[in-house]
Homo-oligomer: A and B are copies of this chain.
Amino acid sequence: MFFASDNWAGAADEIAASLQRHSEGFSPAYGASELDRQLEQRFNDLFEREVAVFFVGTGTAANSLALSAVNRPGGFVLCHREAHLIEDECGAPEFFTSGARLAPIDGPLGKIDPAALRRGLERFDPEFVHHGQPMAVSMTQATEVGTVYSNEEVRAIAEHTHAFGLPLHMDGARFANAMVRLGSTPAEMTWKSGVDVLSFGATKNGCWCAEALVFFDPARAKQLPFIRKRAAQLFSKTRFIAAQFHAYLDDDLWIRLARHANAMADRLADGLANSQHVSIAWPCQSNELFVTMPKAAAERLKDQGARFYPWPVPEEFESKLEPGQGLYRLVTSFATTTDHVDQFVALVG
């Protein structure tokens, strides 16, 4: 009963098989192999336009290098106050930008409120050097609390962002989970809705270590080869990332994996819907379900072998939480089985 994180899973069989298959033979290093080139081409097809794509090892790297590419002195990146960038990257975005600041924007259910974003952008006076200047907006799809922006919502954020001459970055660590929920296409979810730079994550959805940084305007990425190498993110045997991504995209594996993860989260939500001991905090839209329960109950579940983490209570949710209760995150993945889900539901009662 492992619901702690989609990072607790290993790799999908097809990914492992691809790595095995490509471990033989010789080919150019540092991104120059045929396999690397073919993969770059596949990203053009995937997004229905010519993109500039760069493969890196971690989601934190993808996010940080995206911001490096659009960096400005005294720059602010506006993002949701619960964004991974802010909460979970130990200052990497700040470090790789030599000190850009992350400005937290409010909004319910992990989503940036467009009006709050507008206010956040308006507080900068281009003539007033002391405050610094905005340099980008970053949004997370799916969000950190399992919700999903509609494409209309993305467009609303993009409009404000572009009105201030800024690029819009999307942290897509769980892009696939959002996509299968929306029933949209990669192109619609991104550049057709105004996204300029995407961190396209594959690790959480069945790879070992495979993240892609995608620029929809290749001109913006001119310095990226140097930025990536300087960031120690140009792997020598890039084949091993390419081998993962090829298998990931072959035969829509990535979509099948994400569908399964989401289905497991839905099954969990269905199973817990009528529980007397656990309440669903807000609707599950991807592969993360948030529930409230008495802290003692959570401890008991852990003692019985369930693995999951407590979650910091969002400000707007505080009033809904009764004393003695906690908020908890349950994450499913490609590797979650119906057995695990049903066992957990039964245990909760």
| A contact residues vs B (CB 8 Å cutoff) | 2, 4-5, 7-13, 15-17, 19-20, 22-30, 56-61, 64, 68, 72-75, 87-92, 94-102, 129-133, 203-204, 208-209, 223, 225-227, 229-237, 239-240, 307, 335
Given contact pairs A7-B30, A98-B98, A99-B91, A240 touches B208 in the complex (Cβ within 8 A): yes
> Is B26 within 8 A of A90, CB to CB?
no
Query: Which of chain B's residues has its CB closest to A65's CB?
Result: B232
In the complex formed, the residue of B with least CB distance to A8 is: B26
Q: Which of B12, B87, B102, B307 contacts A130 (CB 8 A)?
A: B87
| Docked pose: A91 CA to B99 CA in angstroms | 7
- Give the distance in Å from the alpha carbon of A235 to the alpha carbon of B233 in the complex: 12
Q: Are A208 and B234 in contact (CB under 8 A)?
A: no
Which partner residue on chain B sits nearest A93 by CB separation? Answer: B99
Across the interface, which residues of B come within 8 angstroms of A230, CB to CB? Answer: 73-74, 89-92, 95, 99, 132
Give 8 CB contacts A-B under 8 Å: A10-B22, A10-B23, A11-B237, A19-B208, A72-B223, A74-B229, A91-B132, A96-B232
Question: When chains A and B are docked, how far (Å) is the Cα of A223 from the Cα of B101?
Answer: 17
Say whether A101 contacts B95, CB under 8 Å: no
B232 touches A130 (CB 8 A): no
User: Which residues of B are found within 8 Å of A8, using beta-carbon distances?
Assistant: 26-29
Q: Which residues of B contact A27 (CB under 8 A)?
A: 8, 10
Which residue of the partner chain B has the closest CB to A97?
A: B99
A129 cross-chain contacts in B, Cβ below 8 A = 30, 90, 225-226, 229, 234
Number of identical protomers: 4
**Shortest beta-carbon distance from A12 to chain B in Å:** 8
- Enumerate chain B residues within 8 angstroms of A95, measured Cβ to Cβ: 73, 98-99, 230-231
> Contact at B7–A229, with CB atoms within 8 Å?
no
Name the B residues within 8 Å of A87 (CB-CB): 130-131
Residues of B within 8 A of A102 (CB): 101
In contact, A15 and B23 (Cβ under 8 angstroms): yes
A23 touches B29 (CB 8 A): no
Assess the A74–B58 pair: CB atoms within 8 A. Answer: no
Partner of A61, one of B19, B208, B232, B237: B232
Specify which of A9, A13, A60, A90 lies most central, judged by the most chain B CB atoms within 10 Å of its CB: A90
| Residues A101 and B94 in contact in the complex (CB < 8 Å), given A10-B237, A25-B10 | yes
Partner of A226, one of B5, B64, B133: B133
